[in-house]
A = this chain, B = another copy of it.
Amino acid sequence: MAGSMNELAAAYKRLMEKVKEMLIFQSAASIIYWDMQTKMPPRAITLRSQQLALMEKIGHKMVTDPEIGALLEKILDHPDFDSLDEVQRRNVHLAKKEYDERTKLPEELVVETARQRAVSIDTWKKAKAARDYARFRPDLEKMFELRRRAAEILMDVKGTATPYDALIDIFEPGMTADAISRIFGELRSGLVEIVEKCVSAPRQPDVSILRRRVPVEDQRRVSEALAAFIGYDVKSKEAGGRIDETEHPFTTGYYDDVRITTHYHEDRFASSIFSVLHEGGHALYDQNLPREWMYQPVGTACSYGFHESQSRFVENIVGRSREFWSHFLPELKGLTGGVLSDLTLDGFVHAINKVEPSKIRIEADEVTYGLHIIIRFEIERDLFAGKVTVPELPQVWNEKYREYLGVEVEHDSEGVMQDTHWAGGSFGYFPSYALGNIYGGQLLAAMERDLPGWRSRIAAGSFAEVKRWLVDHVHRYGNLYDPADLIKRVTGEGITIEPFLRYLDEKYSALYGY
């Protein structure tokens, strides 16, 4: 019996060694991806696409190593399997899930997708600058076709109802397009109601103050101050983060090296403020995963939706609150050399929370944002269902913007080409953003029970208590639970839009006086 137990322990230990190598390799590959987006000389694009394709190929070989399959079989079939603890069993489950999914994807498809990703993103950048969808379309079609092929294979492996569900499951394990359709259906009417109350309210903010020119150099200092506020260290000798500049902000990294990016617009200084808070929220999650789980499957985030809940919590619930600005507005004024010295707290907080249907997702307010996501979700769903084709995307996009948001898209760079996701092949990702808002609302309700005085702590300049709560209730669980289980564990109930809509309604009725 002891020998038998030792065999199980040895197989588990070996499996974790293999996983550790994979995670280290992925973290190395992420540096090369980060470099492509931030520092790479432009001439290197072809070489870089070859480097990334090779890294993908090597990573694929590591993940699909038959030794892993043999170890998993040995562990799962072992009579003493139940002697493993909860964390060990979860590690085995997550390793098995990834192994099954990845072994079914042909290496040729994986390599070609990585290669096409680099090319499509490059073409997207150029086509967007030229406002020329026709230039982007062939590379988007190739990317869609590659992801469609992968989705059909993954559907069989995961046993999902549709190919698109198999892609959604990558980002939000267990979630389906049908469930999202239902949730988003309710969300849409709730959001539209609040939007209507806001836009028809007599009290409207003066947003012209957000157009004051703030030199990029000053904005960089503001970014560093915001990072310091949330405890995302980018300056000290112990720093585990950094802030760089890209077209589309993102966060990447692993535990001790988690980097965010932002984009500075001289005449829209608030844009970088909120992208830094947003990406900073992501970074805190990645940095505060349990250290004892580093290099294990369980030492990763729960889902993209939960990741978005963290970024949106920091960006919106904290970062667009009156309490945060009662502390930070004087600092902002000090860092921007007098340009903003006459702003009032009320005026500024209302301005950064102006609700207004618009065309650009990443500049959208907290209320209309969900509508941008619902549009993207519906288009993806219909694309994979064959109800829409890639050439039709601009038309479908523009019609939905007219219907859901009442805005007229004038060219495709402010329409269907505004985001990088589809160029990168990340179909199934978009719903995560809105799920993040929904989870965020539920987390806020739970936090308010534990920390009723959180708003006064923020107003006093301390984010530490809120951060501690997020670490203790979300980050510390890593990937121990699927998202449906995690939200239940933390809040006591399944996914529900009520707390998010209630939070919005309370906040915006106070701002707009409706």
Contacts and interface: CB of A to CB of B under 8 A. Distances in A.
A109 interface: no
A70 interface: no
B31 A242 contact: no
Contacts of A21: 54
A32 interface: yes
Interface residues of A, number: 36
Interface string A231-271: 00110111111100000000000111101000000000000
Given A42-B237, A42-B239, A239-B42, A256 B47 contact: yes
A39 interface: yes
A188 to B, nearest CB: 41
A24 interface: yes
A40 B28 CA distance: 12
A344 interface: no
Contact of A43 (B25, B58, B256): B256
A42 B237 CA distance: 6
Interface in A31-49: 31-32, 35, 39-44, 46-48
Contact of A257 (B27, B40, B256): B40
A55 B29 CA distance: 10
A240 B54 contact: no
A236 B31 CA distance: 24
B24 A257 contact: no
A204 interface: no
Contact of A239 (B43, B54, B240): B43
Closest 4 CB pairs of A and B: A44-B257, A43-B240, A28-B51, A43-B256
15 contacts: A25-B54, A25-B58, A27-B47, A27-B51, A28-B55, A31-B32, A31-B35, A32-B32, A35-B35, A39-B242, A41-B240, A43-B233, A44-B256, A47-B256, A48-B257
